[in-house]
Structure 1
Amino acid sequence: MTTNEKLVSLRRLMKENNIIAYYVNTADPHQSEYIAEHYQTRSWLTGFTGSAGYALVTQEEALLWVDGRYFIQAEKEISGTEFKMMKIGNSDYPTIEQWLIRNLNSNDILAMNGELISESFYLKLERLLKPYGILIKTDYQLVEEIWKNRPEKPNAILFTHELQYTGKTAAEKVNLIREKMIQDKAEAALYAGLNDICWLFNIRGGDIANNPVAISYALITLDKAILYIVQNKVVKQVYEHLLENNITIKEYDIVFSDVANLNVSILVLNKEKINHNLFNKIPQSIKIINKQDYPYLIKACLNDVELKNQRNSYIKDSVALTKFIYYIKQNVDSGILNELNVADTLHDLRKEQDLFLDESFSTIAAYGANGAMMHYSATPESYSKIKAESFLLIDSGGHYLDGTTDITRTISCGELTEEQRTDYTLVLKAHLNLARAIFLSGATGYYLDVLARQPLWQYHMDYKSGTGHGVGYLLGVHEGPQRFNMQYANVPLHEGMVITNEPGVYKENKYGIRLENDYVVVKDKKVDADQFMKLDCLSFVPFDRDAIDISLLEKYELDWLNNYQQAVYAKISPFLNEQEKAWLKEETATL
């Protein structure tokens, strides 16, 4: 079926059910950022393959809302269909709520799948639409109904994350949760976040591509810890591990009846993570404490064992990427390189590293103009050959038993124009301006984000994304709550938080430049009562010497760059062969 044929089928079902508008989001029942193919209803319906966005369909309109990361990509992918792009964050375009208020009448029905929306989203939508008499119905699965040959639900086998990597047993972590519950006077905690559940119970899975998680729920009371999961995923070794840590295993769907029969006075949960259908099962007599999940906050700060392992994983990953850059530089004139085969080469180099499991997300290998699309994805049907000119942007990462990585380098493939070298150097200035920051304990990423943007703003350029996000520990490559972003978030940067630093320049039909390292927040000096913090670098991959215009760098910037490049050589060269080592020595020589 083409996209427009799918719309015909969907509209027929809408008409049969007296539905005026149908909402399709990008979600699974756990509000995961990345979702299994089984739940990719928005992507299947619209043809837009980006990882975020939502659609609204009426008998006359088909609308797709996407954020700034995807404007270019979405425009290309929905071209030739009925779908129109709506730009999130652009005042020329209404929000979905504004559009509904302007276009729907009293008693019109807005329908959706309640299992795929959070309770928080539902309440917000209800609050905004109720004054206009617009009705919300959440018991429909219309896109699922027309999706023939829909992929099955994932069923990957679990494995344990051993104590040598976690630093704490699952039982110890559950006790930490109970301590928090007691402080809040809660008798139970309900969890749907897959990263949080896997961290809590020291298990990992493979239900979502590039995400070592298992589709599951968890319920913690003062005397029980229950994991709800399809039980054929639980092999003997994992079963014994859970049993040893006093964790009860129940079938995945039993959570609905258990929640419906829950006999407690106070339940703590996060309405942003619990889906509307599950929330509706909670007895009305139970008082709800709505707050961020305890595991989500605790795991954001790595313990000493985790941080030691995470540092080691970054060295290995940096070796793989440094070898890759050498490979590109040596072979770019051959005419055989393209976006697909260089991604395969990088994967193979990571596979050579000890404890490697998987990529932490699908590698973005974007040559030339494709780099202007922040989340571009080459396919066998559409990819570019790499020529001895312009830039190759590589955004990639790995999952290792001892950590998760995320790094971007933009590689010069030949002679660059003055504009290209200027833009690369400005992005480098943006990166190092944030990297060298010293800040007072209690400062948030919201305060610091401007440090990266300022060098670009001086040239009237900006990037339509955040500057950095948290990184999980053999979990999601995008985790929180920490981030560098212009959008306000009152989340202090605490010791042990891992966060990316990835400013960029994106020029449509020209090129994209992004330079990303990962950092961990550490203590700096204490002066009287003031504790100062700084960012300690985890990633050690050279910046592209041929792309840097040193005339644009201040002395302190050049000093930082030279110190960094020398640290790269010291840490990475012992793992290289003689040819690679000689190249790296040249690449990192003092500028």
Structure 2
Amino acid sequence: MQVTEKINALRKIMGDSNIDAYIIVTDDYHGSEYVGDYFKEREYMSGFTGSAGTLLVMTDFAGLWTDGRYFLQAEEELAGTGIELMKSGEADCPSIEVFLYDKLKENSVVGFDGRTVNCNFFNRLKNRLDSKKITYAMDKDLVDAIWKDRPGMSSRKVWELDCEYTGMSRKDKIGRLFEIMDKNGADAMVLTALDEIAWLLNLRGDDIEYCPVFLSFMYISPKLSILYVNRSILSDDIISGLADDGIIIKDYESVYDNLAGISSEKIMIDPSSANCFIKENIAINSFAYETESPVELMKAIKNPTETENIENAHIKDGVAVTKFVRWLTENVKKGTVTEMSAAEKLDEFRKMGEGYIGQSFAPIVAYKEHGAIVHYEASKKTDVTMKPVGLCLIDTGGHYLQGTTDITRTVPLGKLTEEEKKAYTLVLMGHLRLAATVFKYGVTGGGLDIIAREPLWEYGMDFRHGTGHGVGYLLNVHEGPQRISWKNNDVVLDEGMVISDEPGYYETGKFGIRHENLLLVKADLPETEYGKMCYFKNLTYVPFDKEALLPELMTSRDIKLFNRYQKNVYERISPYLCDDDKKWLESYTKPIENFTF
């Protein structure tokens, strides 16, 4: 079926069900950013393949809301579908709830699958639409009747991550969680985010591509803890170990009925990941206390074992990516390297590292104008052969037993224009300045975001994505609660957090540039009369390209930061290279010298 046929089929079912507007979100039942094939309803119905977006279908309108990372991609993928692109965050784009308020008559019916819509989104809908006496049909998965060849839910085996990697047993983690719950006056908590459950239990899975998690819910209290999961994916040893820690197993689908049967408890849920049905079933006999999940912050602050492992993982990753940069710059001249073959080659280099498990997200290898599509993913349809000219943006990462990596390098493959060099330089200046920042404890990522953007702003340039996101430990490559962004950000950057530093610049139809390293927040400086000071410890060691820079745009401090980083790359990575690679790296990391201001 074509997208237009699917939309028409949905409208027919909506009419039969007396539904005036139907919402299809990206999420699975757990608020996941990336989802398994079974849950890709929005992609199936719209043809848009990005990781963020919401589809709204009405009798006379179909629109897809997505953010600035995906504007170009969405324009291409929605062309000819009749679905209008709604550019979230732009001044002239209303939110979905505001749009519905303006379009719907009183007593209209809004439908959606309540298992996929989180409480935060539903609360926003209700707050905006209740004055129009809107009712909600949230038990309707209308897409299921249209999607005839829908894949089944994943059910791959779960495995245990040893304490030599986690630094803390699940029993100790659960004990800490009980203390936090007690301070909040909660009798119990329902965990719904898959990475939080995996982290808390020191278990990993493979139910979502690139994300080592498994489909599950967890009810946890000092009296009784239940893991709702497909029992067949657990080994007898894991089941026995969970039982030893006071955790029993129940069927994944039984979570709703079980929660409805719990009486007179104050149960914590995180409204950003808990779906409507979770809350509705708790509310039958208990009180659903909506608050940020404490597990999210516990998980974000890495312990000393985790940070040591993460540093080791990044050395292995740095070796792999450095070898790849040499391979790419030398082999592109042969005229046989494509975006897809380059991605495969980089994965081959990573596989040489001990403890490598797999890629941490779909690799982005974007040549020339493809680089302007922020989350471009090459396919057989779009793949191109690269030439020794222009820029190639390469955003990739790996999962190791010692942690998760995420790195972007924009590699010059030959002659560059002055426009490309200017953008490369300004983005790198912001990247290096942010990494070198010392800041007072209590500062949020929102307070630092301007540091990365200021060199671009000075020239009237910018980028439409966040500057930094948290990264999990052998978990999701995007994790919260920390981030570096000027939008809605009140989370303090705390010691032990890992965060990316990735400013960029994108020129539609020409090129894209992004420079990304991962940073570790440190707070071991001597305390001052003004309080504790923090700084970033660099984790990523892969060189930048000196020949792509315009030193005349840089300050003397910028040049010192660049030279220092290149020197550190050589010192950290060269011991693991063969003589030929070592000589290449020595030349590639030569400092900027003899430049006068």
Which segment is superposed worse, 368-377 or 545-554?
Answer: 545-554
CA–CA distance in 2 between the matches of 1:244 and 1:334?
59
Deviations 1:217-260 (A, max 9, x none): 01111132221100000012322332333321211122222211
Aligned to 1:350: 350
Structure 1 match to 2:135: 135
Report 1:422-571 matches (<5 A). Answer: 422-523=422-523, 524-571=525-572
Shift of 1:139: 1.2
1:174–1:225: 8 Å Cα contact kept in structure 2?
Answer: no
SS of 1:11's equivalent? helix
Deviations 1:139-178 (A, max 9, x none): 1111121001101000110000101001111111111111
- Structure 2 distance, partners of 1:267, 1:557, is 51
Kept after mapping to 1: 8 A contact 2:260/2:284: no
Deviation at 1:318, TM superposition (A): 0.8
2: CA distance, partners of 1:119 / 1:103: 23
Distance 1:481 1:264 in 2: 30
* 2:41 alignment counterpart: 41
**How many residues are paired up?**
591
Aligned to 1:582: 583
Q: Is the 8 A contact 2:279 2:288 kept in 1?
A: no
Equivalence for 2:262? 262
Q: What residue in structure 1 maps to residue 248 of structure 2?
A: 248
Q: Distance in 2 between matches of 1:68 and 1:442?
A: 29
Q: What percentage of aligned pairs have identical amino acids?
A: 39
Alpha-carbon offset, residue 520 of structure 1: 0.4
Alignment match, 2:52: 52
2:260/2:285 contact within 8 Å kept? no
Q: Does 1:368 align with 2:390?
A: no
Instruction: Indicate conservation of the 8 Å contact 2:261/2:285, yes or no.
Output: no
Q: Give the distance between the partners of 1:287 and 1:84, measured in 2 at CA.
A: 40
Q: Which moved more, 1:115-124 or 1:38-47?
A: 115-124
Per mean C-alpha deviation after superposition, the further-off stretch among 46-55 and 126-135 is: 126-135
**Deviation digits for residues 308-342 of structure 1, max 9, x if unmatched?**
10111111111111011000111111000111000
Say yes or no: does 1:84 pair with 2:84: yes
Structure 1 residue 529: Cα displacement: 4.8
- SS class of match (1:376): coil
Written as runs of structure 1 = structure 2, the 5 A alignment for 1:375-390 is 375-390=375-390
Separation of aligned partners in 2, 1:261 and 1:381: 51
Instruction: Describe the shift of the 1:269–1:323 C-alpha distance in structure 2 as closer, same or farther (beyond 3 A).
Output: same
Give the aligned partner of residue 2 of structure 2: 2
Q: What's the CA shift string for 1:266-296, capped at 9, x where partnerless?
A: 2111122111112111144523332111211
Question: Take 1:233 and 1:255, find their aligned partners in 2: how far apart are those partners?
Answer: 17
Would the aligned equivalents of 1:54 and 1:64 in 2 still touch at CA under 8 Å?
yes
Provide Cα deviations, 1:517-552, integer angstroms capped at 9, x if missing partner: 000000133212511000100000001122112222
1:99-114 pair list within 5 angstroms: 99-114=99-114
* Alignment deviations for residues 363-414 of structure 1 (CA, whole Å, 9 cap, x no partner): 0000000000100111012212111111010000001111001110000000
Decide whether the 8 Å contact of 1:188 with 1:264 is kept in 2: no
The answer on whether the counterparts of 1:262 and 1:283 sit within 8 Å (CA) in structure 2 is no
Q: Is the 8 A contact 1:525 1:533 kept in 2?
A: no
Q: How does 1:119-198 map to 2 (within 5 A)?
A: 119-198=119-198
Deviation at 1:264, TM superposition (A): 4.3
Q: Distance in 2 between matches of 1:161 and 1:438?
A: 34
Q: AA paired with 1:40?
A: K
Q: C-alpha distance in 1, partners of 2:482/2:272?
A: 17
Distance 1:235 1:330 in 2: 47
- Determine the C-alpha separation between the residues in 2 that align with 1:77 and 1:181: 45
> Does structure 1 conserve the Cα–Cα contact (< 8 Å) formed by 2:436 and 2:536?
yes
Q: 3-state SS of the aligned residue for 1:249? A: strand
* Matched AA of 2:540: S
Q: Give RMSD over aligned pairs.
A: 1.1
| 105-114 vs 151-160, which moves further | 105-114
Whether the aligned pair in 1 keeps the contact of 2:282 and 2:288 (CA below 8 Å) is no
Per-residue deviation at 1:56?
0.8
Secondary structure in 2 matching 1:116 = coil
The corresponding residue for 2:216 is 216
SS in 2 for 1:299: helix
More moved, 548-557 vs 406-415? 548-557
Q: Distance in 2 between matches of 1:51 and 1:370?
A: 17
Given that residues 449 and 486 in structure 1 are in contact (C-alpha distance below 8 angstroms), is that contact kept between their aligned partners in structure 2? yes
> Aligned equivalents of 2:368 and 2:240: distance in 1?
52
> Does the residue aligned with 1:525 lie in a helix, a strand or coil?
coil
TM-score between the two structures when normalised by the length of structure 2: 0.97
- Gap regions ≥5 residues in structure 2: 593-597
Aligned partner letter, 2:576:
F
Which residue identity is paired with 2:568?
Answer: A
SS at match of 1:535: strand
Which stretch shifts more, 232-241 or 56-65? Answer: 232-241
Corresponding residue of 2:595: none
Superimposed CA distance per residue, residues 6-44 of structure 1 (whole angstroms, 9 cap, x where no aligned partner): 112111111111211111110100000110010000000
CA contact (8 A) 2:263 2:285 kept: no
CA–CA separation in structure 2 for the residues paired with 1:119 and 1:590: 52
- Higher mean alpha-carbon deviation, 148-157 vs 134-143, is at 134-143
2:281 is paired with a residue of what secondary structure?
coil
Structure 1: state its 5+ residue gaps: none
Instruction: Report if aligned partners of 2:470, 2:480 keep a CA contact under 8 Å in 1.
Output: yes
Query: Are the equivalent residues in 2 in contact too, given 1:187–1:264 (CA < 8 A)?
Result: no
Displacement of 1:495 in angstroms is: 0.3
Residue identity in the other structure for 1:184: N
1:430: how far off? Answer: 0.9
By how many angstroms is 1:134 displaced? 2.5
Superimposed CA distance per residue, residues 167-204 of structure 1 (whole angstroms, 9 cap, x where no aligned partner): 11111111111111111121111110100000000000
Q: How does 1:334-345 map to 2 (within 5 A)?
A: 334-345=334-345
CA distance in 2, matches of 1:149, 1:110: 26
User: Do 1:126 and 1:136's aligned partners in 2 also have CA atoms closer than 8 Å?
Assistant: no
Match of 1:225 in 2: 225
Question: Is the contact between residue 192 and residue 274 of structure 1 (CA under 8 Å) also seen in structure 2?
Answer: yes
Question: What is the distance in 2 between the residues matched to 1:153 and 1:354?
Answer: 31
Return the alpha-carbon distance in structure 1 between the equivalents of residues 431 and 145 of structure 2.
47
Work out the CA distance in 1 between the residues paired with 2:529 and 2:8. 69
Q: In 2, are the aligned partners of 1:521 and 1:533 still within 8 Å (CA)? A: yes
Q: Secondary structure in 1 aligned to 2:226?
A: strand
Give the counterpart letter for 1:434 in structure 2.
L
Distance 1:268 1:94 in 2: 32
SS of 2:31 mapped into structure 1: coil
